[in-house]
Amino acid sequence: MANPTPHSTFHIPHSSRGFTLIEMIIVVALFAILSIVIVNLFIGQNRLYRTQTSELKLNSSARASLDDIDAATRSATRAVASYSTFTAGAQVLVLEIQSVNAQDQLIPSSNDYVVYYLNNANLYRETLPDALSARSPGTKKLAENVGDLAFTLDSPDYDLVTEVATDLTISEDLGLQTKSLTLSSKSRIRNK
């Protein structure tokens, strides 16, 4: 006789049928809250990174500019009231530096001129060498977004100037805020 196969019905108990609507809503809500928290953390960290990077860039640019001005001032034989088309003032510094040959030796009675000036919120250095000098002529942009530049000499008489003080303020717009950095330096004209 053949074995009758029992008809079994698979019955799922009520408690294990799946997720209820309330459970799904709770899971979706928790997932949404967790996603919002993670996105806000990411945005906050990204903003912090941009701010710190901007501050480092500002500090680096300002420090490099002041170092350049200080190095030229220490090498200068004197500050001058004007040279070529440049006239010294609160935002223009004109320095006379003894010329050098290709072997970096000083050339007697030959001078180069280095001019620092602000133009359209950019700080520039212009080198104007003598015909005998090995220094390269040219203009170099030292800093951008300069809010303020002030050269202060220790004497109103350019023949008596021995010290140059420089105040430099650089700003950068970060969208919601503007970061500004002001640095100052003083350097002596060594060859005076």
Radius of gyration of the chain (CA): 34
Q: Is residue 31 included in any domain, yes or no? A: no
Strand pairing partners for 172? 179
Q: Give the pLDDT confidence score for residue 136 in this predicted structure.
A: 94
Q: Give the pLDDT confidence score for residue 76 in this predicted structure.
A: 94
Q: Determine how many CB atoms are found less than 10 A away from the CB of residue 172.
A: 18
Q: Is residue 16 included in any domain, yes or no? A: no
Q: Is residue 70 included in any domain, yes or no? A: yes
Q: Give the pLDDT confidence score for residue 19 in this predicted structure.
A: 80
Q: Is residue 86 included in any domain, yes or no? A: yes
Q: Which two tokens stand for residue 80?
A: 């001058």
| Residues 75, 71: Cα–Cα separation, whole Å | 6
Domain interval for residue 83: 44-188
Q: Is residue 11 included in any domain, yes or no? A: no
Q: Is residue 174 included in any domain, yes or no? A: yes
Spans of the chain, pLDDT less than 70:
1-16, 191-192
Q: By C-alpha distance, which of 103, 86, 107, 104 is closest to 95?
A: 86
Q: Give the pLDDT confidence score for residue 1 in this predicted structure.
A: 53
Q: Give the pLDDT confidence score for residue 141 in this predicted structure.
A: 95
Q: Give the pLDDT confidence score for residue 57 in this predicted structure.
A: 83
Q: In 3-state terms, what secondary structure has residue 116?
A: strand
Q: Is residue 10 included in any domain, yes or no? A: no
Q: Determine how many CB atoms are found less than 10 A away from the CB of residue 85.
A: 8
In total, how many domains does the chain have? 1
Q: Is residue 146 included in any domain, yes or no? A: yes
